[in-house]
Amino acid sequence: MKNSNNKQVVTEIRNELEDLKQNLKGAFSKSGEILSDKSKALMDNTIESFHERMEKITDAVKEKSQNVDNVVREYPWQTAGAALALGLLTGFLVGRSSKN
């Protein structure tokens, strides 16, 4: 569920940046002319929205990394065993694929 929220946020950011790009193209009627007030406001709003969403994503990543850290501290041997198993499996698959 959280993965879909992150995808939605990224999609919204991309859409807003695309809107900004389209508006900036229309903002210049002649080469070197300054942005109109409406375009400046739109650009400022988009940048502010982008920063707010990036802050939310950063907070979510920090929270997830703290959760992982807590699990590793609570179950150190199980974590080491899982890492070892994953490393062995990866080594086996890479070694097997290089022989083909």
Query: 49, 16 in Cβ contact below 8 A?
Result: yes
Q: How many domains does the chain have?
A: 1
For residue range 28-74, what is the model confidence (pLDDT) as tens digits?
A: 554 455 666 777 777 778 878 888 888 888 888 889 999 999 999 99
Give SS3 for 33.
coil
Average pLDDT for 7-35:
67
Q: How far is CA 40 from CA 19, 36, 44, 54, in A?
A: 13, 6, 6, 21
pTM: 0.50
Average pLDDT for 10-29:
70
Q: Give the orientation angle of helix 2-27 with respect to helix 37-74, to 10 degrees.
A: 160
What amino acid occupies position 40? K
Domain hosting 43: range is: 2-99
- pLDDT at res. 33: 58
- pLDDT at res. 79: 93
Distance CA 15, CA 10 (A): 9
